[in-house]
Amino acid sequence: MNITPDSFLKLLSDPTRLRCLMLLLQEGKLCVCELTYALDDIQPKISRHLATLRDAHIVIDQRAGQWIYYKINPDLPDWAKQMLKSTLKGTAGHKPYSHDLKKLNSMPKRPGNKMCA
């Protein structure tokens, strides 16, 4: 993986991408519909940001039936993983991050429950 700190931080500077990453870090893997619900945003916007993160190798995707799940790339350099973990710790309890997790946890019909909302 050939990601530099400046390009990594540039990707994290977008609020939507950062919010997605914080949820992915907490949940392990999520589908687009879960992120769309949690962030209260439209699917094309969330998908575009996830594609940017995927193209930069920050997240990876997996298809499972009709859903595509995203998760943090386990091959990220240690410094990048530590930066994400520190950011998660620093954002805990702060809006919009705490609200995103609360909303995600209230989502009816999550993919694990057979269908997205």
pLDDT tens digits for range 85-115 = 999 999 999 999 999 999 999 999 887 644 4
Does residue 19 sit within a domain? yes
Q: What is the pLDDT of residue 112?
A: 64
Other C-beta atoms lying within 10 Å of the C-beta of residue 57: 14
Q: What is the pLDDT of residue 83?
A: 96
What is the pLDDT of the chain when averaged over all its residues? 92
Does residue 80 sit within a domain? yes
pTM: 0.91
The average pLDDT across 17-28 equals 97
Question: Are the beta carbons of 68 and 36 closer than 8 angstroms?
Answer: no
Does residue 115 sit within a domain? no
- The HSE-up count of residue 94 (CA atoms within 13 Å, CB side) is 8
What are residue 70's phi and psi, to 5 degrees?
-115, 145
Task: Please report, for the domain that includes residue 31, its CATH number.
Answer: 1.10.10.10
